[in-house]
Amino acid sequence: MPNTKSAIKAARQNIRRHALNLAALEKIKKAVKQVRKLASSGKVEDAKKALTAAYASLDKAAKKHIIHKNKASRLKSRLSKLISKVKTA
């Protein structure tokens, strides 16, 4: 249990930040899942639109240090590679 006023405030802030970070992670997961779902079903144009939304959410999360910038870059690369593979097939 926090004893000092500053520790109590820090605990409150941690709870609030944890909730915001979880929401951002869920947004990323949903965006990536949507792109993969559309790409596997063969809807390339819809997948491209979903890809831009996924890029935005990944970049925002990396900017806020919710995920590492290299992870965001890796996911973006894999998603774009997936869509290009579907497009050529």
CATH of the domain at 37: 1.20.58.110
Of 14, 24, 54, 59, nearest to 38 by C-alpha is: 54
Give the pLDDT of residue 88. Answer: 83
> Apex CA 67: angle with CA 61 and CA 72, to 5°?
75
pLDDT digits (tens, 9 = 90+) for 34-89: 999 999 998 999 999 999 999 999 999 999 999 999 999 999 999 999 999 998 87
Q: What integer pLDDT is reported at residue 1 of this predicted model?
A: 83
- Return the amino acid letter for 21: N
Q: What is the pLDDT of residue 30?
A: 97
- Residues of the domain holding 63: 5-88
Q: How many folded domains does the chain comprise?
A: 1
Q: What's the pTM?
A: 0.86
pLDDT digits (tens, 9 = 90+) for 2-16: 899 999 999 999 999
State the amino acid at position 79 in one-letter form: L
DSSP secondary structure, 18-46, as one string: HHHHHHHHHHHHHHHHHHHHHHHHT-HHH
